[in-house]
């Protein structure tokens, strides 16, 4: 990694952590709205990942595929734990297959019912065999 990328990543991570840490303050511990905000952030990140990676080097393809898998699982967890179907957001309507629902539940339980991204991603990698 070059120094400019390292600096940009550090700045991006700092802003992301600041933003996510403010959810509880913004929503006064309304956990459903906190999950909705996390869902939105993860959805936007997933949608910003390139969908066609055939021209990328293999290590880049694997990293993007891994992150896409992590994000999809995070979205499933947020949807289920936050009761997001109650928000009646038609354009975000989702169906989660029973297999994905079971995987999300296992990850959430393995994370100790954590809601922070780091704990959830560690559990996703561990259970999904990605670590």
Q: Taking the alpha carbons of 125, 71, 11, 30 in that order, is the dihedral positive or negative? A: negative
CA-based nearest residue to 73, from 7, 119, 17? 119
Domain count, the chain: 1
Residue 62 lies in domain: 3-127
Q: What CA–CA distance (Å, rounded) separates 50 from 35?
A: 25
Report whether 126 contacts 79 (CB < 8 A). no
Would the pLDDT of 19 be above 70? yes
Vertex 131 angle, CA 66 and 96, to 5°: 50
Whole-Å CA distances, 10 to 6, 15, 53, 73: 6, 9, 25, 24
Q: What CA–CA distance (Å, rounded) separates 59 from 53?
A: 11
Give the pTM: 0.85
Which tens digits make up the pLDDT trace of 39-71? Answer: 989 989 998 888 878 888 999 889 999 999 999
Which tens digits make up the pLDDT trace of 87-120? Answer: 766 555 567 899 999 999 999 999 999 999 999 9
Give the pLDDT confidence score for residue 84 in this predicted structure.
Answer: 85
């Amino acid at each position: 990694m070059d120094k400019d990328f390292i600096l940009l990543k550090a700045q991006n991570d700092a802003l992301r952590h600041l933003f996510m840490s403010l959810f509880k303050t913004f929503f006064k511990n309304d956990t459903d709205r906190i999950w909705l905000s996390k869902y939105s952030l993860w959805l936007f990140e997933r949608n910003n990942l390139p969908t066609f990676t055939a021209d990328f080097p293999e290590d880049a393809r694997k990293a993007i595929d891994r992150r896409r898998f992590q994000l999809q699982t995070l979205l499933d967890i947020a949807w289920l734990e936050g009761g997001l179907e109650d928000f009646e957001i038609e354009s975000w309507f989702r169906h989660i297959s029973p297999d994905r629902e079971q995987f999300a539940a296992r990850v959430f339980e393995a994370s100790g019912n954590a809601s922070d991204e780091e704990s959830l991603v560690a559990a996703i990698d561990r259970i999904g065999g990605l670590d």
